[in-house]
A and B are shown apart, each in its own frame.
Chain A
Amino acid sequence: MAYDPALVSALEPDQLVAATKRPYPRRKLSRGVLALLVVLRVFIVIAVPIVIYAFVHALLVPQ
Chain B
Amino acid sequence: MSENTLNLGFSAPSASGDERITYEDVLRAQDRLKVLKSRAAKSSLRLLWLLAGPGVLVMLGENDGPSMVSYATTGATYGIGFFVPFILLTFLMAFVVQEMTVRLGAATHRGHAELIFQRFGPFWGYFAMGDLVFGNLLTLVTEFIAIQAGGLYFGVPSWASVTIGVALVIVSLTFRRYATWERVLMGLAVFNLLFIPAALYAHPDGAALSRALAAWGPLPGGFTLAFLTLILANVGATVTPWMIFFQQSAVVDKGMTRADVPQGRTDTAIGAILAAIAAVATLVAAAPLFAAKVDVSTFANGADFATALVPLIGSTGATLFALGILEAGLVAAMTISTSSSYALAETMSAAEKAPARHSLNLDFAHGRLFYGVAIASTVLAAGIVLIPGAPLLAMTLTVNVIATLLMAPALLLLLLLANDTEIMGDLANGRWANLAGGTTVVAIAVVGALYGVITAFPNLLPK
Residues of B within 8 A of A14 (CB): 1, 8, 10, 109
**Which chain B positions have C-beta within 8 A of A8?**
13, 21, 25-26, 29
A51 CA / B32 CA spacing, docked (Å): 43
Cβ B453 vs Cβ A25 within 8 A = no
B456 touches A15 (CB 8 A): no
Residue of B nearest to A55 (CB): B398
Contacts of A27 in B (CB 8 A): 119-120, 420, 422
B365 within 8 A of A: no
- B33 / chain A contacts, CB cutoff of 8 Å: 7, 10
Asked if B16 and A2 sit within 8 Å, CB to CB, the answer is yes
Interface segment among B152-160, B207-215, B404-412: the answer is B404-412
Given A24-B118, A43-B409, the answer on whether A16 and B420 have CB atoms closer than 8 Å is no
CB within 8 A of B408: which of A7, A11, A19, A43?
Answer: A43
The answer, yes or no, to whether B394 is at the interface (CB within 8 Å) is: yes
User: Does A50 interact with chain B (Cβ within 8 Å)?
Assistant: yes
**Smallest beta-carbon distance A4→chain B, Å:** 7
- CB atoms of B110 and A40 under 8 A apart: no
Q: Please, what's the 1-or-0 string for A9-42, where 1 marks a CB less than 8 Å from any CB in chain B? A: 1111111111111111111000001001100100
Is B394 touching A55 in the complex (CB atoms < 8 A)? yes
Contact with A along B10-22 (1 / 0, CB 8 A): 1111111111111
Given A18, A26, A51, which contacts B402 in the complex, CB threshold below 8 Å?
A51
When chains A and B are docked, how far (Å) is the Cα of A36 from the Cα of B411? Answer: 12
B405 touches A51 (CB 8 A): yes
Q: Which of B29, B108, B391 contacts A10 (CB 8 A)?
A: B29
List of A residues within 8 angstroms of B115 by Cβ = 24
Query: How far, in angstroms, from A55 to B398 measured CA to CA in the complex?
Result: 5
B127 on interface, CB distance cutoff 8 Å = yes
Which of B9, B29, B127, B257 lies in contact with A7, CB distance below 8 A?
Answer: B29
A24 and B391 in contact (CB under 8 A), knowing A2-B17, A9-B12, A17-B24? no
Q: Are A4 and B1 in contact (CB under 8 A)?
A: no
Residue from the list B13, B21, B401 in contact with A50, Cβ < 8 A: B401
Q: Are B25 and A16 in contact (CB under 8 A)?
A: yes
Assess A13 versus B456: contact at CB under 8 Å? Given A18-B20, A40-B409: no
Q: Which residues of A contact B (CB under 8 A)?
A: 1-5, 7-27, 33, 36-37, 40, 43-44, 47, 50-51, 53-55, 57-59, 61, 63
Taking A13-B12, A22-B9 as known contacts, 14 extra A-B pairs with beta carbons closer than 8 A to each other, sorted by chain A number, are A1-B23, A3-B21, A5-B14, A10-B33, A16-B20, A16-B21, A18-B21, A23-B118, A24-B119, A25-B6, A51-B452, A55-B397, A58-B398, A59-B391
* 26 examples of A-B residue contacts, CB within 8 angstroms: A1-B17, A3-B18, A3-B21, A5-B14, A7-B26, A8-B26, A13-B10, A15-B28, A15-B109, A16-B20, A17-B24, A18-B21, A23-B114, A24-B8, A24-B118, A24-B422, A37-B120, A43-B408, A43-B449, A47-B449, A55-B394, A55-B397, A55-B401, A57-B456, A59-B391, A63-B392
